[in-house]
Structure 1
């Protein structure tokens, strides 16, 4: 990581060649741009993704859901789920700052029946979604999920090629992953100028594809500064997560980020792309040198579950009451990422 710099700009990359496939004339150039952004910044803005129509449908249904009375939303409360799916009310989630976030959310993933083999094998974060009684909501949400997940597979392949590795290096571990889509609502709030809308953190998974509807996102650069990410209404924001940083021994970097000074109403739709639950993630041999101190690996789903259990109120209550325990070898909350390494 010695050639990383104090980057103040997040690059914009046209990913249409990745969607077109390896025969596209600009495929390799796009791969190189993506790999450079993952190494230097940990962030990029992606255009040419063709998700606009499905995003508009998703946004309309999301607004309808969050406009429901609280008692209706709480019928799908995430604490009623055994696999972390459903409505997240204000104050439910606490990030590294220790201050509850000023947002509400709806969390979902692959909609699998309880008797699916991946669920019965003990993958705690897999299973059925909770759905509100809102006509058209499930259909619009899953249509967007499927489309952005397909884009994520193209990006994951490009990440492997950008490392000079087999294109299927990572995708061979993507069959039924607990890749989560969050529908997030930050309401209009004048008081939010002096507190986070969502606190500083790195994402726990491999990478994130975020569609926001307003500014507010900031990243923590190598100079130790919080830098705003300019809002581009046509772009998806890509950022590297903990697992891809670990897999590449820090070559692809998970940069801490936060949402600040949220006065206007804002919606955000991050897909947290990850690998199958029981995938062991540790530094690739190509990114280790003789004499390097050994770096402990993690089981991807257990890492995600451990971090989640330490940041949601309903999970923390279960831990306190002895109703749940952290996975063996669980890392402390917020122990990876660029900012965490400076604390």
Structure 2
């Protein structure tokens, strides 16, 4: 993965990702993958590290319903939000107040607030869910939609990498660490100190990430180090490559560096982190290891990698 140190928070944006990134029609995802689609994804993985999916109308409606619920939830008084505060639940799921997001870069503070949940919350419900009419059902529908899309993307990325079609998908099936985050960035962010950012530059810890944003703010780093503005307001889903995929391919496919800048526009973002099941050890596959390209990464597990990265971010927070 790119070292966090290399993901310079202050590097300028040099363009718009829409000019460089392919857009894949979601209807084509669920047809037998042809070489054109596989080649498109392969090129995106090698040249940019991310690509877009254009949802079909029923998927767009699911996203719209979730956005409506998010706007309702993040508008309620903190006293009500705290009933689902993750620190009062299990430390990993529920509402996360503003300024408590990990500091991926030293000297930064994130101005985002979030609502986090995973598969156990979807199946069991309970105190994790706000008592807002339709919230659980609408958000669960978005969870299920994202998983369906993610499973197909994992198959196509595997084909693009030249490994077994189901290699990635079967290793991300138990969903024990997969999570979805509903993120809110207030429209008063520019009033904060310069050290306060939307989210500081980092790569995601899992296998792939799916992102929807309704307003500008997300910036993506290409393989060659350029920072580009991600699309917004079109309904497209952004697909990013994550740390575990980079480890498996020994750096052949690189994790996507990204950050969120402060804006004066209220922003909502739906993010699905598709994680590897904790029963698997992640290490470079032999297909990507040669005398000229020795293994770059030591074996690890998804949970261990997340724990290490969170520990590092907490150390960064102490420097902020």
Q: TM-score range by the shorter chain?
A: 0.7 to 0.9
Q: What is the SS of the residue equivalent to 1:35?
A: helix
Runs of 4+ off more than 3 Å: 6-10, 192-195, 221-225, 291-294, 308-313
Counterpart check, 1:85 vs 2:93: yes
Where does residue 118 of structure 2 map in the other structure? 109
Question: Which residues in structure 2 correspond to 1:86-165 (within 5 Å)?
Answer: 86-98=94-106, 99-111=108-120, 130-165=128-163
Q: What is the SS of the residue equivalent to 2:109?
A: coil
| d(CA) in 2 for partners of 1:192, 1:47 | 34
Q: 2:24 aligns with which of 10, 14, 21?
A: 14
Where does residue 250 of structure 1 map in the other structure? 251
Where does residue 169 of structure 1 map in the other structure? 167
Which deviates the most, 42-51 or 139-148?
Answer: 42-51
Q: Under a length normalisation based on structure 1, what TM-score does the superposition of the two structures give?
A: 0.79
| d(CA) in 2 for partners of 1:84, 1:17 | 34
| d(CA) in 1 for partners of 2:92, 2:35 | 38
Q: Is the Cα–Cα contact under 8 Å of residues 218 and 260 in structure 1 kept in the other structure? A: yes
Deviation of the 1:311 alpha carbon: 3.6
Cα distance per residue 1:284-325 (max 9 Å; x no partner): 111110264443021112212332344469xx99xxxxxxxx
Q: Is the Cα–Cα contact under 8 Å of residues 103 and 186 in structure 1 kept in the other structure? A: yes
| d(CA) in 2 for partners of 1:131, 1:312 | 27
CA distance 1:128–1:271, change in 2 (3 Å) = farther
Q: Is the Cα–Cα contact under 8 Å of residues 84 and 127 in structure 2 kept in the other structure? A: no
Cα distance per residue 1:8-39 (max 9 Å; x no partner): 744132243543331x6xx3311221121112
Q: What is the SS of the residue equivalent to 2:92?
A: coil
1 or 2 for the larger relative contact order (CA 8 Å, sep ≥6)? 2
| d(CA) in 2 for partners of 1:193, 1:19 | 43
Where does residue 199 of structure 1 map in the other structure? 200
Where does residue 54 of structure 1 map in the other structure? 62
Deviation of the 1:155 alpha carbon: 0.1
Q: Under a length normalisation based on structure 2, what TM-score does the superposition of the two structures give?
A: 0.84
Question: Which residues in structure 2 correspond to 1:305-324 (within 5 Å)?
Answer: 305-311=307-313
| d(CA) in 2 for partners of 1:21, 1:145 | 22
Q: Is the Cα–Cα contact under 8 Å of residues 49 and 151 in structure 1 kept in the other structure? A: no
Where does residue 29 of structure 1 map in the other structure? 36
Q: Is the Cα–Cα contact under 8 Å of residues 46 and 235 in structure 1 kept in the other structure? A: yes
Where does residue 299 of structure 2 map in the other structure? 297
Cα distance per residue 1:178-219 (max 9 Å; x no partner): 211100000102326954211111000011100000011112
Cα distance per residue 1:29-53 (max 9 Å; x no partner): 1122112111211111221455200
Q: What is the SS of the residue equivalent to 1:45?
A: strand
Deviation of the 1:143 alpha carbon: 0.6
**Structure 2 runs not aligned, ≥5 long:** 1-13
CA distance 1:112–1:105, change in 2 (3 Å) = closer
| d(CA) in 1 for partners of 2:231, 2:144 | 27
| d(CA) in 2 for partners of 1:285, 1:48 | 35
Where does residue 322 of structure 1 map in the other structure? none
- Structure richer in helix, relative to its length: 2
| d(CA) in 2 for partners of 1:218, 1:13 | 17
Q: Is the Cα–Cα contact under 8 Å of residues 111 and 129 in structure 1 kept in the other structure? A: no
Where does residue 182 of structure 1 map in the other structure? 181
| d(CA) in 2 for partners of 1:299, 1:223 | 28
CA RMSD, 1 decimal: 2.8
